[in-house]
Structures are given as structure tokens and as C-alpha cells.
Structure 1
Amino acid sequence: MKKTITFLLSLFMIISLVACGNTSAQTEQPSAESNSAGSSVSEETSVPAESELETESAQPDETQETAGITEIAETTEITEITETAADIPESGTDAETEGTKVLVAYFSATNTTEGVAEHIANGLNADLYEIIPEEPYTDEDLDYNDNNSRSTLEMNDTSSRPAIAGSVENMEQYTIVFLGYPIWWGEAPRIVSTFVESYDFSGKTIVPFCTSGGSGIGSSASNLEQLTSGATWLEGRRLNGSDSQDIVMEWVNGLGLNLGE
């Protein structure tokens, strides 16, 4: 009987142990799944490795660096273009600065000398300046047969200096000055003397020319030369008011100044 009871107790204990083992197994399995799920979530939300952080954080810096380099390159390119453009002279600057500036100045009471002066200025693309008296000459003033006319009185007085209206701007820029006038009593009108005494012609070349009814340039140019200093005077010439530009320029080009080139 005792053996039977002992056997039953042993069997009961074995069954209980088996049952407890199954229960423990069932209880541990969800834990494993939970750990597995937890591990999965943990991996998905885990902080990136240092290498990943460095890569991600480096991307904005590289972008900024690239943008900075691009900006510097563009700035440099613009600067180079600006400097290059600054080195390129504006149209005509070299010709005006390095070339020979020519002025054609003239006095013309009856517009005869004016036509010749315009031919020279047009042929050389030179500046043109008219010597205009403050008090214009009238027909009575130019009456050579009247000993009391204004022109007669002026020409008989070597110290006479009729006033000029206006002046030449930046006379210093001109290298060569063509000086035209009519012949009055074998001389240049006194107002031309006023003109040559009004400026410093040092280092300039002066080319005189005149118009007249028949007389040549005579001593008019040499007398004007005595009123200046430091200038080079070329031999002058009488021209006709009816001369064409070709005739006038033939004389100008023959002076050896190479101004038409």
C-alpha cells in the first residue's frame, strides 16, 4: 500500500514538474519575441554611428564650402573682366591722347579766309576756332579808302590790339596750330596779334596761311612770330578763297607733318 502511495506521489510530482516546465517555456517565449521586437525597434531608432554622423554633418559644410568657392571664383572672374575692361581704351581715346591734336584758328572779316580754314579742318579732322572781335567790323570799318576807317587806324598803329570775344579752351592740348587771316596793308590784322599774344605757344608748331586780293603772305608771318616765343613757325602760304579742298590739302600734306595719315 505504501509502495502504491509512494508511486502515485512520485507520478504526481513528475506530472507537476512537466506541467511547470511547459508553463515556464510558454512564459519565456513571449519574452524572447518581446526582446526580438524590442531589439528591432532599438536598431531602427538607434543613434547613427559616428561615421554616419560625420558624413551627415559634413554634407552642409561641403555645400557651403562649394558655394563659397563658386562665389570666390565668380568674384575673381568679375574682377578680372573689370580689370580687363578697364585696360581697354574707349573708342578714339588713343588717337586723341597719343596722336597729334590740331587746331585751325582763323580771323575772317568777309568769310573768305573762313572757307580755306574749313577745308583744312575737314581734311585733318581738326578743331576749328574763329577769332571773333568783341566789336564786329562793319563795312565802313573795312573801307580801305577811308583814312579814318577803323581798319586803317588799327593797321597804322602797331600797338593796337582789338579785343577778342571768347577764347580757345585747353590750348595746351594742341600740338599744331594752323593760323589763318586776310592780308591788310601787307600785314595780318591787329586782332591776330591779340590772338598770338594771348596764349603760350611754347613747343607748338604754327602754320600760317592767308588770303588776299593779290599780295602774298610777305612778312606778315614773321612779324607774328616775333610776338611769340618757344614756337616753331613753318613757312606760310597765300591761298585763294575759291580753292577746293583738294588744292588746300595738297599744300597741307606737302608740309611733311603726316597729319592726314
Structure 2
Amino acid sequence: MKKITAILLSLLMVIGLAACSGNTDQNGQSSTEQPPAENSSSADAMNNESSAPTDSSNTPDNEDESLKVLVAYFSATGTTEGVAKHIANGLNAELYEIVPEQPYSSADLDWNDNDSRSTIEMNDPNARPDISGSVENMEQYDVVFIGYPIWWYDAPRIVSTFMESYDFSGKTIVPFCTSGGSGIGSSASNLEKLTSNAEWLDGQRLNGSDSQDTVMEWVNSLGLDK
């Protein structure tokens, strides 16, 4: 009888141990234990963040929104060229030199000679010296700076050739000049008459010796949306 009782007790112990082992997972951790609340919240937050749509409508596209600027210039002696390069460098703009088909010699530029080429051209309002080359895709530019020296109180006739060679409709044009003492005078308004449907800003006389900071101080005062 005692032997049978011992066997029954042993069976009960085995059954009890099996029941206890059924409440633990494969890693020995109780299946009733809950993960920390902050871990659950973090996971939910990550899921929500990853699934939320991204609104890119307010992301600025600087390349598309920035104005495209061209700095065109005529410079017989290199003075206007220096100023034009300051502007182009300051605005990261394209630079275009108005090159005459027939270059000007020193004799051509002798304003004391009534028979010099430049004197003859400036005495003829209809003179239009030929230009070598052209601006590619002029339509892409929003703002065009036009620079030139002052000859006989006006822009050289080759600049008139340039203005009549393109359609400046819808563009902003900014004239600038260099001279030994004369201001920009009516040179800009005379060029404006050669264009239509363009917005002309007030021009400025600059010195060939002006630093880039000085030149850009004027450019920045124009309020261009660059």
C-alpha cells in the first residue's frame, strides 16, 4: 500500500512540473510579462512617422526660382570689361562680350580725329557696326545688364546693334557705363527706345577702378529678386 501511494505522489509531481513548464516561452521568459510601455509607444511613433506622407510642396527649388542674369558689355579698352566681370562674379551670372566684327584700332578710337571710325559712327545715329557672334538662348534670361563706355555722351553704336538684335520683352534691363568723367546721361534712354515691352531700371556710371564690393553695393541696391 505504501508503495502504491509513493507511485501516485510521484505521478502527481510529474504532472505539476509539466503544467508549470507550459507557462514559460522558449526563452524561459514568462509569457504573461508585458514589454515596457515606452518601448510600445516608441514603436507606434516610428510606425506612424514612417507611414505619414511627406509634403514637399513647401520645399524651395532655388534653381527654378532664382533669376537668370546675363551681363553683356562692350569694352574697347578693357575698362568696362572689369566692371562687367565684377557684376557677373557677384551675381554668379553669365558674361557676354559684344565683340565687333571689325576690331577697333587705336586710330579708330581717336576722338580728336574727325575722320576716325568712332567719330564717324557717333555722328551717324543710324550707324550699326556688325557684331561677331551672338547670345545663345537669350529667351532664358530674366535680367540683362548692358555695359558700355561713353562715347560722345552716348553709348557706342555697336551697343545699338546689340539691342536691336534680340527680343527683350518681359525682361529687366539694367544699363551701366564707364567714362572719363561724363555721366550716363541720355545714353540709357536712347537705348531703351530700341526695345519694347522691357522694364528698364535706372542706369549707373561706374569707374573702372571700382572694387567688386563697390560695384555690388550698387547692384544690391537695385532690389533684384536673385
Q: Which residue of 2 aligns with 1:144?
A: 111
Q: Which residue of 1 aligns with 2:90?
A: 123
Structure 1 residue 98: deviation in Å? 2.9
**TM-score of the superposed pair, with normalisation by structure 1:** 0.63
Q: Which residue of 2 aligns with 1:170?
A: 137
Q: Which residue of 2 aligns with 1:254?
A: 221
Q: Which amino acid aligns with 1:185?
A: W
Question: Any stretches of 5+ residues in structure 2 without a counterpart?
Answer: 1-55
Cα distance between partner residues in 2 of 1:99 and 1:234: 19
Structure of greater Rg: 1
Q: Which amino acid aligns with 2:93?
A: A
Larger RCO: Structure 1 or Structure 2 (Cα < 8 Å, ≥ 6 residues apart)?
A: 2
Cα distance between partner residues in 1 of 2:115 and 2:125: 16
Q: Which residue of 2 aligns with 1:211?
A: 178
Q: How does 1:223-242 map to 2 (within 5 A)?
A: 223-242=190-209
Q: Does the 8 A contact of 2:122 with 2:156 survive in 1?
A: yes
Residues 153 and 126 from structure 1, CA distance in 2 versus in 1: closer, same or farther, beyond 3 angstroms?
Answer: same
Q: Which residue of 1 aligns with 2:13?
A: none
Cα distance between partner residues in 2 of 1:173 and 1:213: 34
Q: How does 1:175-214 map to 2 (within 5 A)?
A: 175-214=142-181
Structure 1 residue 99: deviation in Å? 1.7
Residues 244 and 132 from structure 1, CA distance in 2 versus in 1: closer, same or farther, beyond 3 angstroms?
Answer: same
Residues 239 and 228 from structure 1, CA distance in 2 versus in 1: closer, same or farther, beyond 3 angstroms?
Answer: same
Structure 1 residue 95: deviation in Å? 3.5
Q: Which residue of 1 aligns with 2:25?
A: none
Q: How does 1:1-261 map to 2 (within 5 A)?
A: 94-259=61-226
Question: Any stretches of 5+ residues in structure 1 without a counterpart?
Answer: 1-86, 88-93
Q: Which amino acid aligns with 2:172?
A: T
Q: Provide the identity percentage.
A: 78
Cα deviation 1:58-80 (Å, max 9, x = unaligned): xxxxxxxxxxxxxxxxxxxxxxx
Cα deviation 1:77-117 (Å, max 9, x = unaligned): xxxxxxxxxx9xxxxxx444332100000000000000000
Q: Which amino acid aligns with 1:135?
A: Q
Structure 1 counterpart SS, 2:174? strand
Cα deviation 1:219-261 (Å, max 9, x = unaligned): 00000000000000000000000000000000000001143xx
Structure 2 counterpart SS, 1:199? coil
Cα distance between partner residues in 2 of 1:238 and 1:187: 12
Structure 2 counterpart SS, 1:103? strand
